[in-house]
A and B are shown apart, each in its own frame.
Chain A
Amino acid sequence: MAGNKGRGRAAYTFNIEAVGFGRGEKLPDVVLKPPPLFPDTDYKPVPLKTGESEDYMLALKQELRETMKRKPYFIEKSEEKPDIERYSKKYMQVYKEEWIPDWRRLPREMMPRKKCRKAGPKLKNAKGTDKGSSLINTADILKKIEELEKRGEGEKSDEENEETEGSKEKNKDGDDDNDDDNAEQEDYDEEEQEEENDYINSYFEDGDDFGADSDDNMDEATY
């Protein structure tokens, strides 16, 4: 069979007739380019389902998309200031309702540091108002003291004074405590980051290089 085809012609390792080409029939050309981006379809697609429920779901979908944009969960990029302040922009602005996540359900590191100081007194105030009436309730105070003791900052003497001084002082103290904690946390973070940053940076640089290399290889392979 090979002799039949002559030299230089691709000799097949199998019987072409088995695949359905008759003897001497022309084989299809080799395809050297990728298929078209939008190929013609032999059959037209069937029309979409229509009906009341479909229409309603469509409306729901579009409404949902718009509503989502107005929710506080939608975080926009801080866009650069446009060169011309548009008058109409003032009217296009969307007011979003505030969203305070339930910090009890989130890891502690999620608390924004700056906000903590701002939100701290707010929260405390909220507690303060509902505790205001029950301040006489010594159980609450004892609880609070216990809590403070747990922190073990060696401020016991201060706290004992507080017991008599009322809630205002305590709130302040609590804030200070928080701040201290935060400061500590920050220090700690920075230290660790410094240590590990070096390592990570170098690691990822390598990674990048590797990625680029492999890309090159792929290109070569396609040609």
Chain B
Amino acid sequence: MTQAEIKLCSLLLQEHFGEIVEKIGVHLIKTGSQPLRVIVHDTGTSLDQVKKALCVLIQHNLVIYQVHKRGVVEYEAQCSRVLRMLRFPRYIYTTKALYGDTGELIVEELLLNGKMTMSAVVKKVADRLTDTMEDGKTMDYAEVSNTFVQLADTRFVQRCPMVHAPENSDTGPPPPAPSLVVNEKDMYLVPKLSLIGKGKRRRSSDEDAAGEPKAKKPKRTTDNKEPTPDDGIYWQTNLDRFHQHFRDQAIVNAVANRMDQTSSEIVRAMLRMSEVTTSSDAPFTQPLSSNEIFRSLPVGYNISKQVLDQYLTLLADDPLEFVGKSGDSGGGMYVINFHKALASLATATLESVIQERFGSRCARIFRLVLQKKHLEQKQVEDFAMIPAKEAKDMLYKMLSENFISLQEIPKTPDHAPSRTFYLYTVNVLSAARMLLHRCYKSVTNLIERRQFETKENKRLLEKSQRVEAIIASVQATGAEEAQLQEIEEMITAPERQQLETLKRNVNKLDASEIQVDETIFLLESYIESTMKKQ
């Protein structure tokens, strides 16, 4: 865990769960697994607060616990899981694209609450959907549970490890912590529930206006009292499955950009066929025969078997090797090479970063070194056809930024510079690591800047919130137009301008965070797949 990652985790935890949880979480990330008493002592936080914070972290799958010898429970932070909070909007948006509003809300609820029982999710989502519908219409529980079943079937949601009840419970006192077991068979098995009913409408819009006075606290606890049939079966989002989907999407897009729409459709069909048969971390898909691919092409996509074979040969001949040929039986067997695909995508990312940071001539040198593997300085100058002095300058610049590395090969054992070859090479893995690290730093900076901007304008923001609340409440009582205008004028023109600037800045910073995370995802997947291969 690098400093940049720890800092980012700290900011994310603070934004989502408050300062106390952040303190405990960061402490655990820094120190590794620790028992409760040590955490309390080291952080100087009261026992109750530490407990609360740990409960929150465990609920959100950010901390796991383990019973050690002598019955001490140790808590360990899942750092990579904390960083995933950055990607929440993308998970939600993806589900919306695949399963519509219902799917979107299901995943959103699961992400917001960490883990939930299916019945709780269905109820909450149905209520929320009913809220957005026009009067008189309600959302049926059955419809929501159908979407939930779909999500489980396609493995976007999965069961949390179950509490393993010890069978012979007459052996001494109960254990200090429940043991959680994963049942592979039941991971995606939805409990048979007969959820009948409809979403209930909330009385007022008590959630979307924080500043609004609320007369009554919604008493939702009452209907929680009755035990549900799926009590104890908790669900969470399967982030690996989402990542698999993102990866497949990136491959399809890359093929579409490199060749054409048709070839990308073929690759998409191949990916869809192997979605279930291939595990998300396998380096290849299962071999698929061209006949199988032909049959599973989307209907209405009119290409003949011959054209398909031509496309497949073309794809297999492509130097990037997204698609490989693994045999000749069944009209030719083809696989998709995930590792190669991710490597190409990561390399392309590196190239484009260099192009945007150092210009196209530097990118030319970078590509040259990448292609020729090892080059001496003189060779770089000659091959790149750039004047020696400029080429040197560019090469050194990239060297100092760690995009290019230098390999010394001494002719004599004394390492004398005059008798040493200096070879420039690109180590894609280490360059990707370096870039990933910079991405984490960038996101950290973006968040800090955003917090600074909001803090600077805190007074103004509060004022505008207050005014909005007043307008909303006055409007509800049916006020005149003139009256409303008068209230609106409480915010002066320059203030309004300042608010708009602030909003624009914050939007830009937020959008950048999301888009940097896309690069983070790509680089992480590449590094992970390379590490697995070794």
Q: Are A43 and B514 in contact (CB under 8 A)?
A: no
Residues 75-94 of A at the B interface (beta carbon under 8 Å)? 75-77, 88, 90-92, 94
The answer to whether A108 touches B210, judged by C-beta atoms less than 8 angstroms apart, is: no
Q: Which residues of chain A are near B113, meaning CB under 8 Å?
A: 71, 73
Q: Which residues of B from 50 to 84 have beta carbons under 8 Å from A?
A: 51-56, 58-60, 65, 67, 73
A150 to B166, CA, bound (A): 14
Q: Give A90 to B88 CA distance when docked, in angstroms.
A: 32
| 10 shortest interchain CB distances as A-B pairs | A14-B417, A107-B177, A60-B89, A61-B89, A57-B89, A107-B73, A75-B18, A73-B56, A68-B16, A75-B20
Given contacts A65-B15, A65-B16, A106-B178, 12 further A-B contacts (CB under 8 A): A13-B417, A20-B388, A50-B511, A57-B514, A58-B514, A60-B89, A61-B510, A70-B210, A73-B21, A92-B466, A104-B178, A129-B225
A42-58 with Cβ < 8 A to chain B: 42-43, 45-46, 48-50, 53-54, 56-58
B151 within 8 A of A: no
Are A106 and B58 interface neighbours, CB within 8 A?
yes
Are A107 and B65 in contact, CB atoms less than 8 angstroms apart? yes
B511 near A101 with CB under 8 A, answer no
Cα distance A189–B92 in the bound complex, in angstroms: 44
**Shortest beta-carbon distance, A153 to chain B, in Å?**
12
- Interface size grouping (class) on chain A: 35 or more
Contact of A73 with B176 at beta-carbon distance under 8 Å, contacts A14-B417, A58-B514, A91-B211 already known: no
Q: Are A200 and B41 closer than 8 Å at their CB atoms? A: yes
Residue from A15, A61, A62 whose CB has the most chain B CB atoms within 10 Å: A61
Q: Is the CB of B210 within 8 A of A94?
A: yes
User: Residue-by-residue, is B412-442 near A (CB-CB < 8 Å gives 1, otherwise 0)?
Assistant: 0000111000000000000000000000000
A45 and B221 alpha carbons, distance in the complex (Å) = 51
A196 to B213, CA, bound (A): 50
Contacts of A14 in B (CB 8 A): 416-418
Do the beta carbons of A53 and B93 come within 8 Å of each other?
yes
Report the number of A-B residue pairs with Cβ-Cβ less than 8 Å.
168
Interface of A is mostly: helix
Q: In the complex, A126→B220 CA distance in Å?
A: 15
> Are A73 and B59 in touch, CB under 8 angstroms?
yes
How many B residues are at the interface, by size bracket? 35 or more
Interface residues of B (CB under 8 A from A): 15-21, 36-38, 41-42, 48-49, 51-56, 58-60, 65, 67, 73, 88-90, 92-93, 96-97, 108, 111-114, 163, 169-170, 174, 176-178, 180, 206-207, 210-214, 217-218, 220-221, 225-227, 232, 234, 356-359, 388-389, 392, 416-418, 465-466, 469, 506-508, 510-515
Assuming the A-B contacts A53-B93, A58-B507, A64-B88, are A109 and B388 also in contact, with contact meaning beta carbons closer than 8 angstroms in the complex? no
Residues in A with CB closer than 8 Å to B220 are: 97
